[in-house]
Amino acid sequence: MAQVPVQTIHRDPQLFYWILLPITAVMILTGVLRHYATVLMASAPKKLDQKTTREQRALLRGINVRGNFHTLAKPSFDVRRDALTTAYESGAYLKSPENRGQAPPNPLSDPSSMEGMMGMMKNQMAMIIPNTLIMSWINAFFSGYVIMKLPFPLTIKFKSMLQAGVATKDMDPRWMSSISWYFLCIFGLQSVFNFLLGSDNAASQMAQQMGGMAPNAGQMFGPGVDPDKQFLAEAENLAVIEHYSVLDGVEQRLLEGIKV
Amino acid sequence: MSVEREFQIAPIVQEAVVHNSRTLLNLQSLTASLFGVGAGILGLESYSGFLFYLVCSLLTAMLFYVVRVAPTSLASGTGTGGGGAFDTSRYFRSQVEFWTGGLMNGLAGFILTWTLFYGLVRA
Amino acid sequence: MTWISKAITLFGAVLLGHACYSAQEHSALQSFKAATATLTSSSLAVASLPVDIAIETVIAIIVILFGLVLGTRPLRPIQWRVWAGKIEREGEEGFMDNDGEVNKDFVGNPFKFLETRPGFVDIRKQRKEFASWVKTSSAQ
């Protein structure tokens, strides 16, 4: 059994100072910059007129009543349910009652909705532009160097990714080039930003992508949603609730909790 | 009694849950980088490195339990209700989240510093 | 962070830095030796780390870990009844950071309004207070 000899490549120590450190420093500084850029670009929440606010709050009230019905006594809950249901069904809280039953306007033509899309675009841009810039910068300056060895073995499939720009057939896939250090930085610097900027920072792309996937609360009142339909659905939800109170049988629970 | 009903009778403070898990998460992501430095200096490779990370993360959780969770939980007596000595129900919703929640989170940071220091030391 | 956790962390960091430097010097020396040894004898095996450096590293990690854990913020009970009892008993002190400052997201006792509800006001006590106030002001 012949043991495969460990590949050793003698590298110039200068590679560290002129490739590794600049890439790392640039990545960290870009993250910090992105954080502050996002903070600065965040547009103040738009002022809503009274009618719109009333419409949204009325719906929220229904949802809250539905979510917390267990803390209400039965008569109080019934009164609230009746009032809300009749108001929803008659459209008392609608912003424009005369528009009932019409199709909602096209969200693209509504100027107020354009603003929300612009905000999303800005965030996306703040993410994409630095990434492409840094990547082309690394490709232009640092491609073709082998700078480091990963401490764990990888399969041969990673070779094309880790050793981009180094076209050597026999080299162990554990050796990596500068571009793969860049990828490692993208994934691994989260904890550094956590430490530098506090935990709810906007520096990391990863966190932003995660956040983009979760449905945000603003969606509920977004353009293109018919409030009348939402109200009717909410009235139906309220109607099907089978009421009980948390105080049902509280005496029994209290007696059980007392240990003699 | 259903689980939902149970929560309605004994409600949970959402802010406190967020506060607690964020405290733990910050600690774990910080220490993960530290373990990477250690593994790189020790020159660990492949499986032994990941094993090192696993052991160290469990040690972190253990220390955190001893310093932050245990004194108040045991003193108040609410902690000893279900799971004996290692009960975290006073501060965390699930045991699994407390002991292993930070593993995946810190892994990327660990690999980054591991690679960096492995490369630095074995130049 | 309190000063004690900071001091412990700093001490561990110094240890870790020293271990890192020693390991780096060691491997540099080894590679130099290997480069000169190839001319004279058969190749040396890849030398492992001296045991004192390894011990120093492990101790440094444990020390830093201990310092960091001591520096974490105090936890908060997640059940409302436990949490409310803590607020009632300790007030602002329950929200202290390690620095001795009150946390930023402390907004006051959430149950304060219950005690100022009209049904809970002790009207007899207030009448007595009013009467004594009238007496003292008329006496002057």
Higher pLDDT, residue C128 or A31: C128
Helix %, strand %, coil % of chain B (to 5): 80, 0, 20
Q: Report the pLDDT value the prediction gives residue A205, as an integer from 0 to 100.
A: 53
Mean pLDDT on A149-165: 74
| CB atoms B109 and A20 under 8 Å | no
Q: Which of A17-21, B64-68, B90-94 comes out lowest in average pLDDT?
A: B90-94
pLDDT for A55 beyond 70: yes
Residue from B116, B118, B122 whose CB has the most chain A CBs within 10 Å, to mutate: B116
Q: Nearest chain B Cα to A68, which residue?
A: B8
Higher pLDDT, residue A228 or C125: C125
Q: Which of A47-61, A77-91, B96-110, C87-101 comes out lowest in average pLDDT?
A: C87-101
User: Which sequence spans correspond to the domains of chain C?
Assistant: 3-70, 80-139
Mean pLDDT on A168-191: 79
pLDDT for C134 beyond 90: yes
Q: B4 in a domain, yes or no?
A: no
pLDDT above 90 covers a percentage of chain B that reads 5
Q: How far apart are CA B101 and CA A255, in angstroms?
A: 38
Q: How far apart are CA C74 and CA C95, in angstroms?
A: 9
Q: A118 in a domain, yes or no?
A: no
| C contacts of B69 (beta carbons < 8 Å) | 75
Among B37, B78, B121, the residue with its CB nearest the CB of C24 is: B121
pLDDT for A166 beyond 60: yes
| B contacts of A199 (beta carbons < 8 Å) | 22, 25-26
pLDDT for A65 beyond 90: no
Q: Which of A77-81, A96-100, A138-142, A254-258 comes out lowest in average pLDDT?
A: A96-100
Q: B49 in a domain, yes or no?
A: yes
| CB atoms B119 and A184 under 8 Å | no
pLDDT for C44 beyond 50: no
> 3-state secondary structure string, A154-216?
CCHHHHHHHCCCCCCCCCCCCEEEHHHHHHHHHHHCHHHHHHHHCCCCCCCHHHHHHHHHCCC
**Per-residue pLDDT tens over the stretch C57-81:** 899 999 999 998 888 888 878 777 7
pLDDT for B52 beyond 70: yes
Mean pLDDT on C83-112: 65
Higher pLDDT, residue B2 or C99: B2
Chain C stretch 22-61, residues whose beta carbon is closer than 8 A to a beta carbon of chain B:
23-24, 27-28, 48-49, 53-54, 57-58, 60-61
Interface ipTM > 0.85 = no
Higher pLDDT, residue A243 or C106: A243
What mean pLDDT, rounded, does chain A reach? 75
Judged by a CB distance cut-off of 8 A, whether residue A152 touches chain B is: yes
| B contacts of A184 (beta carbons < 8 Å) | 111-112, 115
Mean pLDDT on A106-111: 59
Among A152, A187, A199, the residue with its CB nearest the CB of B49 is: A152
Into how many domains does chain B fold?
Answer: 1
Residue A155's domain comprises: 14-94+126-213+222-240
Into how many domains does chain A fold?
Answer: 1
B123 contacts C24 by C-beta, under 8 angstroms: yes
Residues 6+ apart with CB under 8 A from B118: A148, A149, A150, A151, B39, B40, B43
Evaluate the CA torsion angle A94, A96, A100, A104 in order and state its sign.
negative
Band of residue A101 on the pLDDT scale cut at 50, 70, 90: low
Q: B21 in a domain, yes or no?
A: yes
pLDDT for A204 beyond 80: no
Q: Which of A181-195, B109-123, C108-122 comes out lowest in average pLDDT?
A: C108-122
Spell out which chain B residues touch chain A, with contact meaning CB-CB distance below 8 angstroms: 8-9, 22, 25-26, 29-30, 32-33, 39-40, 44-47, 49-50, 106, 108-116, 118-120, 122-123
Mean pLDDT on B74-82: 56
Token pair recorded at residue C68: 């960091």
Mean pLDDT on B62-79: 74
Pairing of strands A146-149, A175-177: antiparallel
H or E stretch including C121? none
Mean pLDDT on A39-68: 81
Q: Report the pLDDT value the prediction gives residue A31, as an integer from 0 to 100.
A: 84
Residues 6+ apart with CB under 8 A from B115: A148, A150, A151, A181, A184, B36, B40
A145 contacts A12 by C-beta, under 8 angstroms: no
| B contacts of A16 (beta carbons < 8 Å) | 119-120, 123
Q: A119 in a domain, yes or no?
A: no
**Per-residue pLDDT tens over the stretch B56-65:** 998 888 888 8
| A contacts of B37 (beta carbons < 8 Å) | none
Tally of CA atoms within 13 A in the half-sphere of A99 that contains its CB: 11
Q: Which of A110-114, A193-197, B53-57 comes out lowest in average pLDDT?
A: A110-114
Residue whose C-alpha is closest to residue A123's, from A38, A242, A45: A38
pLDDT above 70 covers a percentage of chain C that reads 76
Among B27, B56, B76, the residue with its CB nearest the CB of C72 is: B27
pLDDT for B89 beyond 80: no
pLDDT for C133 beyond 90: yes
Band of residue C14 on the pLDDT scale cut at 50, 70, 90: very high
pTM, entire model = 0.76
**Per-residue pLDDT tens over the stretch A142-156:** 777 777 878 887 777
Q: Which of A205-214, C19-28, C119-128 comes out lowest in average pLDDT?
A: A205-214
Q: A254 in a domain, yes or no?
A: no
| B contacts of C110 (beta carbons < 8 Å) | none
Q: A85 in a domain, yes or no?
A: yes
Q: Report the pLDDT value the prediction gives residue A220, as an integer from 0 to 100.
A: 55
| CB atoms B26 and A199 under 8 Å | yes
Q: Nearest chain B Cα to A71, which residue?
A: B8
**Per-residue pLDDT tens over the stretch B7-16:** 777 777 777 7
